[in-house]
Amino acid sequence: MVIQYQLEKKSQECSARVGTITTPHGTLKTPVFMAVGTQGTVKTLVKEELHEIGSEIILGNTYHLWNQPGHEIVKKAGGLHSFMNWDRSILTDSGGFQVFSLAKLRDIHEEGVYFKHHKSGKQLFLSPEISMEIQNALGSDIIMSFDECPPYPCTHEYMEKSVDRTLRWAKRCLDAHQNKERQGLFGIVQGGEFEDLRKYCAHELVKLSFDGYSIGGTSVGEPKEIQNQVLDWVVPILPEDKPRYLMGVGSPGAILDAIERGVDMFDCVLPTRIARHGTAMTSKGRVIIKNKEFEEDFTPLDMECDCYCCKNYTKAYLRHLFKANEMLGHRLLSIHNIRFLVHLTEEARKAILEDRFLSYKNEVYQKYGLNENDKDF
């Protein structure tokens, strides 16, 4: 198998687990948070910074790279690793999520989806085969099957048809995938908020034997209890010897809830997106750095953080950068926020190994100053 999952320990308290995933570009420890490099760059950052942050795997977006610079150019560059100068593992999504969240005038057929580009308006077509062709050209270590990601809420009737199509597309992806020796393919469990469809989809995908399993269609506006409920339905069905990836989830609370339920992998644009607007995640909750209270605060953003930003800069300076519209502010807060989530998963790992995950989770919740029902956490 091109992607190997090694289970190291199962929690005695809950379904949490620690392990390692080996890809053609290295071994990474799970649970793991993956920073998102949408357009072939984790916004503002370079390789050495991501190494220092502890990033062992990052994400690229098929939809964006397909349109700019185009997968053929990335292929000619020797693949995405070489093109963007990244030497560790890369995971790419299938383009499916962007087609359903960004693109305009979708027209869904059995063969694939016709749609217009979200900016240029250009007419495009994406199918399981084309998604595989693009991801094969990008050469990412872990690739995703092309799925439909219906909106929330949606009827049981529609979701049932959609899940069946997603399953047929998953089979076509397995057939179309041309680089099985170097790239592992994950199947994506859909089914919305419906127990029967989630379980059905998971069972059917497991029969097809993917290199790992993703849980999609979450973080689309549904309440957090539903997200956790979906995990309670799906994760027990997934094989113990394969990685499990909850797509697009990046708030600290939701990550910890999912780790508790046995998920290994996470990604989200949240840390870099809120960094751009001057918001930091800290051990004591969110900090809006432009606030007047930080004008003469010459202490680091987070006293408990070991990142480059916290070791070298004060809140007063970071506030100044944002007040002055200096891009260095975005860069430093991106470093901090990604490190915050990578560190969160590192600490979760330690806690699971020492069978104190639930108390660790509790402690983080309390220090963040929020409760489990807070949607933003």
73 binds its own copies (CB under 8 A): yes
- For the question of residue 267 being annotated catalytic, the response is yes
Structure tokens at 375: 């949607």
Residues 79-108: x where in contact with its own copies by CB under 8 A, - otherwise, as a string: ----xxx-----------------------
Q: Which residues contact 297 (CB under 8 A, 6 or more apart)?
A: 314, 315, 316, 319
78 vs 239, which CB is nearer to its own copies?
Answer: 78
Question: Which of the 8 DSSP states describes residue 355?
Answer: T
51 binds its own copies (CB under 8 A): no
83 vs 213, which CB is nearer to its own copies?
Answer: 83
64 vs 361, which CB is nearer to its own copies?
Answer: 64
Total of chain residues touching its own copies, rule CB under 8 A:
36
114 vs 308, which CB is nearer to its own copies?
Answer: 308
Whole-number minimum distance, CB 284 to its own copies, in Å?
22
Bridge-based pairing state of the strands 26-30 and 17-23? antiparallel
Q: What residue ranges in the chain does DSSP mark as E strands?
A: 4-10, 17-23, 26-30, 32-36, 57-60, 89-92, 104-108, 113-116, 123-126, 142-144, 184-189, 212-215, 244-246, 265-268, 279-282, 285-288
Whole-number minimum distance, CB 120 to its own copies, in Å?
12
188 vs 321, which CB is nearer to its own copies?
Answer: 321
Stretch that binds its own copies, among 169-177, 224-232, 246-254, 315-323 (CB under 8 A): 315-323
CA nearest 255: which of 78, 86, 85, 377?
377
Can you tell me which of 28, 36, 45, 230 binds its own copies, judged by CB under 8 A? 45
Beta bridge partners, 4, equal 22
Can you tell me which of 316, 346, 347, 356 binds its own copies, judged by CB under 8 A? 316
154 binds its own copies (CB under 8 A): no
Beta bridge partners, 142, equal 91, 184
- For the question of residue 93 being annotated catalytic, the response is yes
Bridge-based pairing state of the strands 57-60 and 123-126? unpaired
Longest Cα separation, the chain: 60
Which residue among 147, 264, 267, 302 is the active-site one?
Answer: 267
150 binds its own copies (CB under 8 A): no
Beta bridge partners, 116, equal 104, 123
Structure tokens at 278: 């001057």
Residues involved in catalysis: 93, 267
Give the footprint of its own copies on this chain (CB under 8 A): 39-41, 43-47, 64, 68-69, 73, 76-77, 83-85, 295-296, 298, 308, 312-314, 316-317, 319-321, 323-324, 326-328, 330-331
